[in-house]
């Protein structure tokens, strides 16, 4: 880390000040132009004159002023020209994602896919307020609801959007399981209920008592408060032990969207079997066998056993 060599004052900007620096279209144009230059690599770092040309600024003094305002926190001036600092890169990328200024919506729209609960042969996707939802019209069950940046809809067909959404949710849950917040990279911790399955319904008068269909695990970021509540099966979907179990049986768990896998979207596959120490067992069926995975209260795998799903065989 070469922290000593970077400009000291701009690092101390509080977020509101940082955003006020972006309160002019020309500055946003500069960040976008720098991001574009960093991607093409044609001239990056970019010289003052090239950058001005790309942004289309007529008046040099005005352009100079806006570039000067960005330099420090968002842009770094080097001997070779101007380049993005991390904050500038993050802002420019977010603008491309459409997080700040684009509103998009679609659906409800029928999509290919089999409901893991009732077996219906078509599902329904909809997108509102940057949340993508997939549900079953037949049994009315919501299979997944998770944020998706509106820019991710651009230049993609609906099936491609759904594939990207599948990857996004999987990777975010895997990050959360590894203790990394997918929103801000801050530390994430998981909390689990202290009750064993079966006790929950008899203890429903307290305010903290979770409804029966609530997911077992809550991952919460200590830094930004981001919260994920995946079913335990989904938490384990990308775990190497699970991936290997499927691969050894000739199956790829990435070939099917996770919302079509019953054990990823239903709490029925998981049960809390002990509280001291806390243990939860998830049953993951592949073909005519099931992998029984037991995890502790941090979702670290404690044991894994294979069981035949057809005891008569």
Q: Please report whether residue 46 would count as binding Zn ion according to CB under 5 A.
A: no
* From 125, 221, 242, 293, residue interacting with Zn ion (rule: CB under 5 A): 221
H or E stretch covering 86 = helix 86-97
- Write down the least CB distance from residue 230 to Zn ion, Å: 16
8, 9, 11, 46: which is closest to 29 by C-alpha? 46
Widest pairwise Cα distance in the chain: 83
Q: Given the structure tokens 């993609």, which residue do they identify?
A: 156
Q: Please report whether residue 144 would count as binding Zn ion according to CB under 5 A.
A: no
CA–CA distance, 123 with 80 (Å, rounded to integer): 54
* From 90, 105, 118, 247, residue interacting with Zn ion (rule: CB under 5 A): 118
Interface pattern 61-100 for Zn ion (x via CB under 5 A): ----------------------------------------
Q: Please report whether residue 125 would count as binding Zn ion according to CB under 5 A.
A: no
Residue (181 or 286) nearer to Zn ion, CB:
181
Q: Please report whether residue 186 would count as binding Zn ion according to CB under 5 A.
A: yes
219, 302, 240, 230: which is closest to 264 by C-alpha? 230
CA–CA distance, 86 with 88 (Å, rounded to integer): 5
Q: Please report whether residue 209 would count as binding Zn ion according to CB under 5 A.
A: no
Structure tokens at 183: 């929103």
Q: Please report whether residue 120 would count as binding Zn ion according to CB under 5 A.
A: yes
Residue (218 or 275) nearer to Zn ion, CB:
218
* From 105, 184, 247, 306, residue interacting with Zn ion (rule: CB under 5 A): 184
DSSP state of 195: S
Contact present, 132 and 165 (Cβ < 8 Å): yes
Write out the residues near Zn ion by the rule CB under 5 A. 115, 117-118, 120, 136, 138-139, 181, 183-184, 186, 221, 223-224, 226
């Amino acid at each position: 880390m070469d922290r000593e060599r970077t400009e000291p004052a701009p690092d101390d900007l509080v977020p509101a000040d940082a955003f006020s620096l972006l309160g002019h279209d020309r500055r946003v144009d500069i960040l976008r132009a720098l991001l574009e230059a960093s991607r093409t690599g044609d001239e990056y770092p970019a010289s003052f004159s090239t950058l001005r040309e790309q942004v289309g600024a007529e008046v040099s003094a005005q352009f100079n002023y806006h570039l000067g305002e960005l330099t420090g926190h968002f842009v770094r001036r080097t001997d070779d020209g101007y380049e993005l600092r991390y904050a500038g890169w993050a802002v420019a990328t977010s603008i491309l994602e459409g997080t700040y200024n684009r509103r998009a919506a679609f659906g409800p729209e029928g999509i290919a896919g089999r409901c893991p609960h009732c077996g219906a042969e078509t599902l329904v996707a909809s997108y509102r307020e940057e949340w993508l939802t997939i549900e079953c019209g037949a049994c009315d069950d919501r299979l997944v609801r998770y944020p998706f940046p509106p820019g991710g809809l651009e230049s993609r067909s609906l099936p491609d959007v759904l594939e990207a959404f599948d990857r996004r949710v999987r990777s975010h849950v895997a990050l959360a399981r590894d203790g990394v917040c997918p929103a801000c990279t801050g530390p994430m911790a998981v909390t689990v209920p202290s009750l064993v399955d079966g006790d929950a319904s008899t203890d429903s008068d307290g305010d903290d008592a979770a409804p029966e269909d609530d997911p077992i695990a809550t991952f919460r970021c200590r830094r930004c408060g981001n919260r994920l509540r995946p079913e335990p099966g989904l938490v384990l979907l990308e775990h190497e032990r699970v991936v290997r179990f499927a691969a050894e049986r000739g199956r790829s768990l990435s070939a099917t969207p996770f919302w079509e896998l019953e054990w990823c979207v239903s709490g029925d596959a998981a049960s809390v079997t002990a509280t001291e120490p806390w243990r939860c067992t998830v049953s993951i069926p592949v073909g005519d066998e099931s992998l029984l995975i037991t995890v502790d209260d941090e979702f670290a795998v404690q044991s894994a056993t294979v069981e035949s799903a057809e005891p008569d065989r």
